């Protein structure tokens, strides 16, 4: 079992077409429109393909569609880089059965000892290691301290950040900009689903969130996509208070399923001072845990 590729393609292309106005596409309006955005024939003309061919695509059939046609459709629909990449992932997922089966069999890699050492060496910044299901599978002490509300009673990885965001009552307190954070999380999960359409654990996660969270279900239906690469994120930590941290998402060479996420702040700023305070608190917690084990 996996994601319904044809349904995903159909919903994505339809939703993007509805977002482009005739004015944006340079098409004069001569009459009242009964549909939002562009008509199928207008997209086909802009992409320089036949109406029949584009209609086949929008009905969910991307099998055999060339990269050049995908790029033309992306331009016609004014897709950004993230949306264009998502369209290409959907097309690859519609490929031959042998390709899809190979994707399904690929295991999630084990964490190499060198990666664990790398995390441990990052003493000045919170650092997390997550997979494409958004399981936090490892963290350095400062990362564990920053995400202590996410880890909760577990006190250590693994934990799923998507479940925390949508199902944990403390999430909206931890993320002051919860709606923005949560909606971006849905967009990132949709990209992961397109890249790993036959991962049953991932499909189970999406199904669980859809059943248990009205917000997730609404935003999932919007078909928006989002790439977590770099930016700024706000936290309201229960120990040190407000933090505004810059994040970087770094792919792990040789382990495409894993990503290192780091957080930082300029020294001397309120967030930088709070991060230093958090490091002191984390060291105190770690020392107390060591003493408790003796």
| Residue-wise pLDDT tens digits, 41-61 | 999 999 999 999 999 999 999
More confident of the two residues 285 and 173: 173
pLDDT tens, position by position, 205-221 = 999 999 999 999 999 99
164 Cα distance to chain centroid: 14
User: How high is the mean pLDDT of the chain?
Assistant: 90
The reply to whether omega before 158 is within 30° of 0 (cis) is yes
Mean pLDDT of 72-91: 95
Say whether 198 sits in a helix, a strand or coil: coil
Say whether 225 sits in a helix, a strand or coil: coil
pLDDT value at position 15? 96
Mean pLDDT of 249-255: 87
Cα separations (Å) of 217 from 10, 159, 209, 221?
A: 18, 21, 7, 6
Residue in 150, 206, 246 with CA at minimum distance from that of residue 1: 206
pLDDT at 170 over 80: yes
Residue with tokens 């229960």, as numbered in its chain: 238
pLDDT at 268 over 80: yes
- pLDDT band at residue 110 under the 50/70/90 scheme: confident
* 251 beta partners: 259
Q: Report all structural domains of the chain as residue ranges with CATH numbers, in order of start.
A: 5-95 (1.10.260.40), 113-293 (3.30.450.180)
pLDDT at 105 over 70: no
Cα separations (Å) of 269 from 89, 239, 272?
A: 41, 18, 5
More confident of the two residues 29 and 18: 18
Q: Distance between CA 134 and CA 57 in Å, rounded?
A: 30
Among 9-18, 66-75, 175-184, 252-261, the minimum mean pLDDT is found in 252-261
Q: What percent of the chain has pLDDT over 90?
A: 74
């Amino acid at each position: 079992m996996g994601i319904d590729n044809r349904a995903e393609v159909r919903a994505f292309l339809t939703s993007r077409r509805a977002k482009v106005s005739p004015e944006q596409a340079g098409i004069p309006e001569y009459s009242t429109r009964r549909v939002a955005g562009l008509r199928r024939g207008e997209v086909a003309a802009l992409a320089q393909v036949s109406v029949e061919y584009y209609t086949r695509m929008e009905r969910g059939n991307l099998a055999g569609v060339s990269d050049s046609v995908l790029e033309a459709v992306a331009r016609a629909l004014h897709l950004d880089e993230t949306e264009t990449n998502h369209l290409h992932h959907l097309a690859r997922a519609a490929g031959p059965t042998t390709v899809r089966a190979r994707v399904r069999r690929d295991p999630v890699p084990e964490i190499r000892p060198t990666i664990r050492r790398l995390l441990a060496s990052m003493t000045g910044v919170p650092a997390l290691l997550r997979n494409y299901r958004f399981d936090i599978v490892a963290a350095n002490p400062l990362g564990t301290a920053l995400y202590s509300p996410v880890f909760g009673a577990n006190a250590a990885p693994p934990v799923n950040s998507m479940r925390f965001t949508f199902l944990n009552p403390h999430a909206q307190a931890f993320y002051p900009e919860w709606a923005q954070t949560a909606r971006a999380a849905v967009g990132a999960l949709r990209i992961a689903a397109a890249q790993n359409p036959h991962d049953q654990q991932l499909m189970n996660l999406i199904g669980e969130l859809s059943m248990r969270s009205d917000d997730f279900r609404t935003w999932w239906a919007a078909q928006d996509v989002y790439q977590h690469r770099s930016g700024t994120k706000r936290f309201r930590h229960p120990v040190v208070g407000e933090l505004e941290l810059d994040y970087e998402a770094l792919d792990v060479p040789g382990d495409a399923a894993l990503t290192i996420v780091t957080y930082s702040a300029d020294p001397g700023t309120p967030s930088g001072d709070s991060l230093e305070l958090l490091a002191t608190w984390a060291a105190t917690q770690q020392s107390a845990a060591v003493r408790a084990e003796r």
